Amino acid sequence: MKTFFKVAILVMLGFASTASVLAQQIAIEANGDLNFGTIIAPITSGTVTIHPDGSRTLSRVIAPYVAGDYTSAANFRIYNPQNNGNKEKHFSITLPKEHVLQNAGGSTITLTDFVTSLPGNMGSFRRGDLYFSVGATLNIQANQPAGTYTSRYGGFPVMVNNE
């Protein structure tokens, strides 16, 4: 018997050095969640990776076609809320080393290897918006229990650091 489970992760935003972020007028918002889609639990452990471009790589797992199901990288927008000033704003993004997800039955699964679409996880802008995405690897244990796995803390942290 095959065990199906679905993984959808909401994103949680955080700021490092909030006073500095406000002084330089940088804001961040989440525009889309990290979603691994429906996966069949493997007999041995396996992984599913969502890359920042939204593509998915499977290792020792099966992802069946399910109508209406989708996968996606998490998407973010960094912007100047007042859209003023010509000073270039430099920043870096800090992502977690790992993040634990849980289903309704209390079973857990771990996300690791977070990566952004920004070269070196750094960026800069003057006016307007800068968009980036985040991918990660889902580490699935052998015979992972079925269920919808979500973050216990409302999402994984994404920190914006002024440079």
pLDDT digits (tens, 9 = 90+) for 128-149: 788 999 999 999 998 888 888 8
Mean pLDDT of 65-83: 79
Q: What total number of domains does the chain contain?
A: 1
Burial of 31 (0-12, 13-18, 19+ CB in 10 A): exposed
Domain with 94, as residue range(s), is 4-162
Mean pLDDT of 71-93: 79
- For residue 82, the model assigns a pLDDT of 66
Confidence of residue 23 (pLDDT cuts 50, 70, 90): very low
Block residue for tokens 């699935």: 140
> Would you say residue 8 has pLDDT above 70?
no
Q: Between 153 and 112, name the one with better pLDDT.
A: 112
Mean pLDDT of 107-131: 88
**From CA 39, how far away is CA 62, in angstroms rounded?**
6
